[in-house]
Amino acid sequence: MVIPILRIFDLEKAKDFYVNFLGFTYDWDHQFEDGLPVYCQVSLNDIILHLSEHHGDCSPGAAIRIQVQNVADYHRSLPKDYRFARPGIEQAPWGTPEMTVTDPFFNRLIFYEAVEL
């Protein structure tokens, strides 16, 4: 299993985006002591992401592709009143329906549905 690590700068903004908007569960976090950066895990079904405030772990602006069973169903499940993103679904040139959304830290998440070729 591959678990991407995405750079974040603000844990509360990350929770608002990943948990309140995208519907992930906040699983756990680690912090060496108060005031130091947080490293945490969020998950949605079998999707696991690690989010890190540690500057040495990764750089902001990553792009990851996440396969979901039904991208249209997932899209419909998102809250419509989230102020910072209103993603749509597009058909990629290679035939997959995809929903792209950028987190508050410029990481791009592409949710896609696999299709039979």
Query: Domain count of the chain?
Result: 1
Q: Is residue 58, in this structure, part of any structural domain at all?
A: yes
Q: Say which residue, 84 or 39, is predicted with more confidence.
A: 39
Q: Is residue 117, in this structure, part of any structural domain at all?
A: no
Could you give the C-alpha distances from 6 to 24, 35, 92, 95, in angstroms and in order? 14, 20, 24, 27
Query: Degrees (nearest 5) of the Cα angle 14, 32, 2?
Result: 55
What residues form DSSP beta bridges with 51? 6, 40
Q: Is the pLDDT of residue 117 over 70?
A: no
**C-alpha to C-alpha distance for 75 and 73, rounded to whole angstroms:** 5
Residues 40-77 pLDDT 10s:
999 999 999 999 999 888 998 999 999 999 999 999 99
93 is in which domain, residue-wise? 5-112
The reported pTM is 0.93
**CATH code of residue 9:** 3.10.180.10
Q: What is the chain's Cα-based Rg?
A: 15
**C-alpha to C-alpha distance for 38 and 21, rounded to whole angstroms:** 20
Residues 14-24 pLDDT 10s:
999 999 999 99
Q: Is residue 41, in this structure, part of any structural domain at all?
A: yes
